[in-house]
């Protein structure tokens, strides 16, 4: 594959205080270690690190990186599931001005090669399970100079993570360059469900300061989820004022002293995806909260999650939709756990079924459930919470505004004009965002556009606007199914199918069809003790949606495959459906 060279200078932005280093991860960590040195930073199994201890470990690794010759803006890839080593590597690279690069730990060798080659990574820090895949491709990567592995089985041609750290002091690293808010801080690769992942380019201002705004806007949208100490300091103010005040407070010694390490958040979804990364690093940099990771970070085990909540007195859990929520509910129904410490569960990345939320609330009366809408390309989160006292669980909606620190609109993408109430349009965001797609000026120009005098990111989410100015999410534009000239959003159909009492999980895709162009096809996983036929699933949908949205094919599977983060990978699901339903699409006979 041919990959063009690129340089950060093509993306660099200038800011009023850009020469400073207050909005860098290294500065945030040093402040935490100074202000709350004995507060717990990370917990994983029996390992518990204070902020002082964690900072010391990061310094050791950063000093080793410098000794290996890693310099400012060199890319350092991280490949593994959630672990203390993952975040140590991220902060160590950041401290010296190197650029962390996320790699999906489930990628096959060709996919890993693409990321490492596209990012021009000079080093990769990896979990032992990934060693064989790295060895298969390292000969094709002339820029990759260092392979550092954590875990038990260390390959002979790789550096041992623990031994490497043990050879260096825990003192602050020294180097001959500055690390500022305007510097290259992160090369984050998106999920890649529609092809190879795209690298999003971030500087410190947009990434670190942007996550301050993300937490502020999330709290502003759901103030009932806010820590009482913060809420009391806000007073009786409107939402916009609250967001502004919060954003200026986060990341400061005042907040660290007030709530640092007082809240424990269990991150169940993988850090190499945007949902977990943004929420986890938001909690770290903004408020110094304690991060809890499961001892067995993959595959996900609901029993271990609830045992960890009970043992470690976890206050909040971060998940991605039904892929995590369904087994969590099933385990709660058969287990007996002390969950008195738990106050909230936050889901982002995919739609969380109202049926599953309702059952979760029935099992945990005092826990609030929050939906969050965001994107890997922006530092923003729009949230809405639900409680057991609510009769109906509403889907997330977002108040549109062209003002303030978190501007968002719903427009006609062809005209750039705001849509009228009842009309369908595309959601765009104008706050803190990535600087572009790495090595892809065409996609950058398409996704980030200037309207008037302001730069906006076209998120890809489509929906309608009501009379009150709220955006109601329908689905993601790239996944829309065009059947007989009508648009069908998979999320709409999936949500209805999941209300069937026999269904455990469902995905909807479009497969080529001679008559319809694309045929709406449902891939359904039934509950273990339930039975249903394809015809019964289709009949269940009748009357609950427009006729053109009703599935024309149903494929029953033992287990619905999902990505590590819990998201549906619709392209491979569509290929699977085509293969299983028949090799010749012309011979497919849709059920009437």
DSSP of 228-253? HHHHHHH-S--HHHHHHHHHHHTTSH
Residue 127 is predicted with a pLDDT of 95
When mean pLDDT is compared across 115-124, 166-175, 393-402, the lowest value belongs to 393-402
- pLDDT value for 234: 66
What is the average per-residue pLDDT within 418-424?
Answer: 92
Neighbours of 114 (CB within 10 A): 19
Interval 314-352: pLDDT, tens: 999 999 888 899 999 999 999 899 999 999 999 887 767
The length of the chain is: 592
Q: How far is CA 533 from CA 307, 332, 414, in A?
A: 37, 28, 43
Give the pLDDT score at 584: 39
- CA 2 to chain centroid: 29
Q: Is the pLDDT reported for residue 193 higher than 50?
A: no
In this predicted structure, what is the pLDDT of residue 547?
84
**Predicted confidence (pLDDT) at residue 511 exceeds the cutoff of 60:** yes
Domain 396-479 class, CATH top level:
mainly beta
Of 280, 104, 127, the C-alpha closest to 193 is 104
Mean pLDDT confidence for 108-123: 94
Q: Quick one: pLDDT at residue 525?
A: 92
**394 pLDDT more than 70:** no
Q: Comparing 79-83, 374-378, 380-384, 554-558, which segment has the lowest mean pLDDT? A: 380-384
What pLDDT is recorded for position 565?
Answer: 65
d(CA 170, CA 58): 8
Average the pLDDT over 102-119 and give the result. 93
Q: 557 with 524: CB under 8 angstroms?
A: yes
* Strand 470-476 to 397-399 pairing: antiparallel
Highest CATH level, class, for 481-587: alpha beta
Cα separation, 251 vs 211, whole angstroms:
10
What pTM value is reported for the model? 0.85
Q: Using an 8 Å Cβ cutoff, are 145 and 123 in contact?
A: yes
CA distance 355 to 291: 29
* Per-residue pLDDT tens over the stretch 196-247: 789 999 999 999 999 988 887 766 656 655 666 666 666 676 766 777 777 7
Q: What digits encode the pLDDT tens for the residues 13-46?
A: 999 988 999 999 999 999 999 999 999 999 999 9
Q: In CATH terms, is domain 12-36+51-204 a member of 3.40.50.12780?
A: yes
Q: Reduce the DSSP state of residue 139 to 3 states and report it.
A: helix
Q: What is the pLDDT of residue 26?
A: 97
> Looking at per-residue confidence, does 372 or 49 come out higher?
49
What mean pLDDT do residues 477-495 have?
79
Percent of the chain residues topping a pLDDT of 70: 89
| Averaged pLDDT for residues 63-73 | 98
Q: How far apart are CA 477 and CA 473, in angstroms?
A: 11
Please state, for a pLDDT cut of 90, what percent of the chain lies above it. Answer: 60
Q: Looking at residue 489, what is its pLDDT?
A: 79
150 pLDDT higher than 70 = yes
pLDDT on residue 297:
84
Buried b (16+ CB within 10 A) or exposed e, 264-292: bbbbbbbbbbbbbbbbbbbbbbbbbbbbb
Please report the pLDDT score of residue 583 as a whole number. Answer: 44
Q: What is the pLDDT of residues 573-591, one digit of tens each?
A: 888 888 888 643 444 444 3
**Rounded distance between C-alpha atoms, residue 529 and residue 526, angstroms:** 8
Rounded to whole angstroms, the Cα distance separating 155 from 145 reads 15
Answer for the pair 99, 143: CB distance below 8 angstroms, yes or no.
no
Q: Which tokens go with 91?
A: 């902060």
Average pLDDT over residues 446-471: 91
Helix axes 51-67, 25-35, angle to 10 degrees: 140
Please report the pLDDT score of residue 227 as a whole number.
60
What residue segments make up the domains of the chain, in order of their start? 12-36+51-204, 396-479, 481-587
Q: For 70-107, what is each residue's pLDDT tens digit?
A: 999 999 999 999 999 999 999 999 999 999 999 999 88
Most confident among 56-60, 468-472, 503-507, 534-538 (mean pLDDT): 56-60
């Amino acid at each position: 594959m041919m990959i063009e060279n690129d340089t950060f200078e093509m993306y660099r932005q200038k800011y009023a205080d850009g020469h400073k280093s207050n909005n860098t991860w290294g500065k945030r960590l040093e402040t935490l270690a100074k202000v709350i040195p004995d507060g717990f930073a990370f917990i994983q199994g029996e390992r518990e690190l204070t902020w002082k201890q964690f900072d010391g470990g990061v310094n050791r690794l950063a000093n080793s990186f410098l000794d290996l010759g890693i310099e400012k803006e060199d890319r350092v890839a991280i490949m593994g599931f959630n672990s203390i080593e993952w975040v140590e590597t991220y902060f160590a690279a950041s401290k010296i001005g190197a650029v962390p690069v996320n790699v999906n730990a489930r990628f096959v060798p060709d996919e890993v090669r693409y990321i490492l080659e596209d990012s021009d990574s000079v080093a990769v820090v990896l979990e032992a399970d990934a060693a064989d895949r790295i060895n298969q491709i390292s000969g094709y990567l002339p820029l990759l100079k260092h392979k550092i592995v954590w875990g038990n089985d260390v390959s002979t041609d790789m550096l041992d993570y623990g031994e490497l750290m043990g050879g260096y002091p825990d003192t602050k690293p020294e180097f001959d360059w500055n690390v500022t808010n305007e510097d290259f801080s992160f090369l984050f690769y998106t999920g890649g469900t529609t092809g190879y992942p795209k690298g999003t380019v971030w500087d410190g201002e947009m990434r670190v300061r942007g996550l301050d705004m993300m937490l502020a806007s999330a709290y502003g949208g759901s103030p009932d989820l806010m820590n009482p100490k913060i809420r009391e300091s806000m007073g009786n103010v409107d939402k916009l004022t609250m967001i502004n005040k919060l954003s200026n407070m986060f990341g400061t010694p005042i907040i660290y002293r007030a709530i640092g390490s007082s809240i424990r958040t269990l991150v169940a979804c993988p850090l190499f995806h945007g949902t977990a990364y943004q929420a986890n690093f938001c909690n770290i940099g903004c408020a110094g909260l304690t991060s809890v990771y499961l001892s067995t970070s993959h595959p996900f085990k609901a029993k271990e999650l609830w045992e960890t909540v009970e043992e470690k007195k976890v206050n909040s859990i971060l998940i991605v939709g039904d892929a995590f929520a369904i087994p969590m509910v099933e385990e709660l129904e058969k287990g007996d756990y002390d969950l008195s410490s738990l106050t909230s569960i936050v889901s982002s990345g995919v739609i969380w079924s109202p049926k599953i939320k309702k059952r979760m609330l029935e099992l945990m009366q005092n826990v609030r459930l929050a939906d969050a809408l965001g994107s890997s390309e922006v530092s923003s989160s729009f949230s809405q919470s639900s409680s057991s006292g609510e009769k109906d669980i509403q889907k997330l909606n977002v108040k549109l505004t062209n003002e303030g620190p978190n501007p968002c609109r719903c427009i006609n993408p062809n005209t750039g004009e705001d849509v009228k109430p009842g009309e369908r349009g595309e959601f765009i965001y104008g706050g803190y965002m990535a600087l572009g797609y790495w090595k892809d000026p065409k996609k950058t120009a398409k996704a980030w556009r200037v309207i008037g005098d302001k730069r906006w990111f076209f998120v890809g989410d489509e929906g309608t606007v009501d009379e009150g100015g709220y955006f109601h999410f329908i689905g993601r534009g790239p996944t829309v199914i065009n059947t007989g000239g009508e648009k069908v959003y998979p999320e709409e159909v999936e949500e209805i199918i999941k209300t069937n009492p026999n269904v455990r999980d469902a995905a909807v895709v479009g497969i080529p069809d001679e008559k319809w162009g694309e045929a709406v096809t449902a891939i359904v996983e039934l509950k273990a003790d339930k039975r249903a036929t394809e015809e019964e699933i289709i009949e269940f949908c009748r009357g609950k949606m427009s006729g053109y949205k009703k599935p024309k094919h149903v494929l029953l599977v033992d287990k619905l495959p999902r990505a590590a983060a819990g998201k549906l990978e619709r392209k491979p699901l569509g290929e699977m459906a085509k293969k299983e339903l028949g090799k010749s699409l012309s011979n497919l006979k849709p059920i009437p």
